[in-house]
Structure 1
């Protein structure tokens, strides 16, 4: 869902974010999102494709398709996620990449074959975030997750078979109301079996106003201990050690938190740290993997390797607003309910940004909206 006036820092991080739809179709007993955002609302495919085109023309080399549940896209407008993805793939320039956001198991199950084909496309990261939350069917039922553990396994097993090397990220909640020791051990076994390289572990917290807040709670110390135990299991394995010595092509998109490296990602959206060479930013670079950690690898650029940039145009300057192509200066009337622009008011413009400076408002808008 592209919001008018959304600002991208293209200079420091050439990544664009778009949401295909707002909200999800679930009614999980622990979640407040649906209370705040309402029902599913998908944007038309042509609008999302046009926005992707514009982003690439502004120097973006990686776009993220996000939502509360990306897999539910289109169910309210008579289409589906694979149809959108194939349209997006058509406009992704060589060397640029698309990353898919989170999707719950129920809505990906019916599209497994097509999703596997899309995730095998060279311009789509072989990565998918599929929350399981618990490996106990009893707990999933109490959460109203609308799937069982077998459904999750079917999705993951199918994708791992059809998309070799795919990265599956998942979420787990520890200490949900009613979770027994046996329930928790089933979750531990699932993590030990799949060894998820990316795992988000959350200790349950009852959000006021949710059904789960009214359920009988697991003691705080038990929740805390289970969270520690699962974290210990997660840190017991090293997902990237076997990749040392590999030669990989990576897309460089940002600076590391410690400012010592640039952050890149390979085909499987695995994090690879590379030297801070300014010519690498926003480009595809070939590297040799020489070190690995729990959450990253380090790569040395191959000597004389081709550095490829997919950008159609020079990236926007830092702080420049995406999608806005012209500026006009107008007087500010503090008692007026709206600001007139060339005889047309802001209520009829889809992309407008205002900045107060030197006693007047600077209004930015896209001439294509006229």
Structure 2
């Protein structure tokens, strides 16, 4: 009898990629992948623990499945970084991020009621079987782990130190996927800015290699890169961004506008590094989209520190800013510090959100009346609208009949905080 497996994914694009690989391996082994957990015999929870809110959602889901008749497998970062806490709520089979090649044997063990786990290690993830949730987007983990030691981050405990995928294998995956119809590639990792530092290469050289080896119409979206490492290859990186196949999109998290807080966070960069990187990119890459992240309510953050963050946002005017209220992560340095009251964190988050929304809308309004080519990469079934991305990775909402992977010429008619509205011309 064929068994149905449902994979529920939490967290980052690296986790999404892991889930697609697990789906590919399980399908190859004869399992059926279903998206409705009610139809599943086995449920794999691919966990994320970056934020306390996500961790609580994951734990709630695990407890719910434990009470059901369904078999459970726990994957992702929780088994690696919060093993003790996980085992307090479930004895289900577990698989870490670097052991996903063993998912078939782990699932078979779950079916047989065995307690088994595969944790630790390291593995390459390019060129593995994959079932993509979106047939025109291939998420490629170009590197794993990082070289940083941020005081607030638990991901290092789960993903370890830097391990880069080889440029040849990445280039080959892009080539094969493009031939199979993929039009958009997400180069992702915990910090793409340090890609290749462990093998005498870097992100700029990787982009040059891929765009040289793989011809045709497609886009590469480069994932989050920390200023600490991006600044070391800045000139090369800016030149690499000029390739037509690269989305003019930079995700560079600053986390705070206060150098005192950045030092305490052990970020390895200061405000000036961030500002310099953004200004150089904007000067050389017209229309580039700038994304950043900030944490409000970090231990010891004063009103003055917070105001510096607000002032920085007003100065830089990012196209989008992800705001996180600080939450303690077990085993991190920041968790040992005296915490700010929850109400202060909430109040600062509200203040920052209002300013960020205003900036986002202003930045998007600049695109009104722009016309050019965009790639259709998403369909919203509920709203019956399509999302297309222009060269700056701006989401453009379209109505009409299109297909995923289609390149269309559009004109922007309206702007909202989170997206643009366009029409085909």
Task: Please report how far the alpha carbon of residue 242 of structure 1 lies from its aligned counterpart in structure 2 after TM superposition.
Answer: 2.5
Distance 1:206 1:172 in 2: 15
In 2, are the aligned partners of 1:28 and 1:145 still within 8 Å (CA)? yes
> Which whole-Å deviations, capped at 9, do the CAs of 1:135-158 have from their partners, x for residues lacking one?
101100111001110111111111
Which of 407, 410, 413 is equivalent to 1:284?
Answer: 407
Structure 1 SS opposite 2:366: helix
Structure 1 SS opposite 2:139: strand
2:230 equivalent to 1:108: yes
TM-score (norm 1): 0.78
Task: Please report how far the alpha carbon of residue 38 of structure 1 lies from its aligned counterpart in structure 2 after TM superposition.
Answer: 1.4
> What 5-or-longer segments of structure 1 have no aligned partner?
303-370
TM-score (norm 2): 0.68
Q: Which residue number in structure 2 is paired with residue 129 of structure 1?
A: 251
Structure 1 SS opposite 2:307: helix
2:298 equivalent to 1:176: yes
Sort the Cα spacing of 1:257 and 1:72 in 2 relative to 1 into closer, same or farther, 3 A.
farther
Aligned length: 299
In 1, are the aligned partners of 2:164 and 2:196 still within 8 Å (CA)? yes
Distance 1:26 1:226 in 2: 27
Q: Which residue number in structure 1 is paired with residue 416 of structure 2?
A: 293
2:276 equivalent to 1:154: yes
Distance 1:211 1:58 in 2: 46
Larger relative contact order, structure 1 or 2 (CA cutoff 8 Å, min sep 6) = 1
- Greater mean alpha carbon deviation, residues 23-32 or residues 240-249: 240-249
Distance 1:256 1:222 in 2: 37
Task: Please report how far the alpha carbon of residue 58 of structure 1 lies from its aligned counterpart in structure 2 after TM superposition.
Answer: 1.0
Q: Which residue number in structure 2 is paired with residue 357 of structure 1?
A: none
Distance 1:57 1:132 in 2: 37
Distance 1:146 1:247 in 2: 40
Structure 1 SS opposite 2:388: strand
Distance 2:320 2:191 in 1: 18
Root mean square deviation of aligned Cα? 1.3
2:335 equivalent to 1:213: yes
2:281 equivalent to 1:165: no
Which of 392, 397, 412 is equivalent to 1:268?
Answer: 392
2:324 equivalent to 1:202: yes
Q: Which residue number in structure 2 is paired with residue 364 of structure 1?
A: none
In 1, are the aligned partners of 2:127 and 2:169 still within 8 Å (CA)? no
Task: Please report how far the alpha carbon of residue 244 of structure 1 lies from its aligned counterpart in structure 2 after TM superposition.
Answer: 1.5
Q: Which residue number in structure 2 is paired with residue 73 of structure 1?
A: 195
Distance 1:283 1:158 in 2: 32
In 2, are the aligned partners of 1:248 and 1:289 still within 8 Å (CA)? no
Sort the Cα spacing of 1:152 and 1:17 in 2 relative to 1 into closer, same or farther, 3 A.
same
Distance 1:92 1:165 in 2: 25
In 1, are the aligned partners of 2:127 and 2:173 still within 8 Å (CA)? no
Distance 2:200 2:236 in 1: 17
Distance 2:422 2:286 in 1: 22
- Greater mean alpha carbon deviation, residues 256-265 or residues 219-228: 256-265
Task: Please report how far the alpha carbon of residue 15 of structure 1 lies from its aligned counterpart in structure 2 after TM superposition.
Answer: 0.5
Sort the Cα spacing of 1:207 and 1:235 in 2 relative to 1 into closer, same or farther, 3 A.
same
The 4+ residue runs of structure 1 with deviation greater than 6 A are none
Q: Which residue number in structure 1 is paired with residue 150 of structure 2?
A: 28
Structure 2 SS opposite 1:50: helix
Q: Which residue number in structure 2 is paired with residue 47 of structure 1?
A: 169
Structure 1 SS opposite 2:376: strand
Task: Please report how far the alpha carbon of residue 3 of structure 1 lies from its aligned counterpart in structure 2 after TM superposition.
Answer: 6.7
More helix by share: 2
In 2, are the aligned partners of 1:261 and 1:273 still within 8 Å (CA)? yes
Task: Please report how far the alpha carbon of residue 92 of structure 1 lies from its aligned counterpart in structure 2 after TM superposition.
Answer: 3.8
Distance 1:89 1:281 in 2: 22
Distance 2:235 2:200 in 1: 19
> What 5-or-longer segments of structure 2 have no aligned partner?
1-124
In 1, are the aligned partners of 2:398 and 2:422 still within 8 Å (CA)? yes
In 2, are the aligned partners of 1:177 and 1:217 still within 8 Å (CA)? yes
Distance 2:368 2:155 in 1: 41
> Which whole-Å deviations, capped at 9, do the CAs of 1:279-304 have from their partners, x for residues lacking one?
x42011001111111111111111xx
> Which whole-Å deviations, capped at 9, do the CAs of 1:44-85 have from their partners, x for residues lacking one?
110111111111011101101000000111111111111111
Q: Which residue number in structure 1 is paired with residue 16 of structure 2?
A: none
Q: Which residue number in structure 1 is paired with residue 183 of structure 2?
A: 61
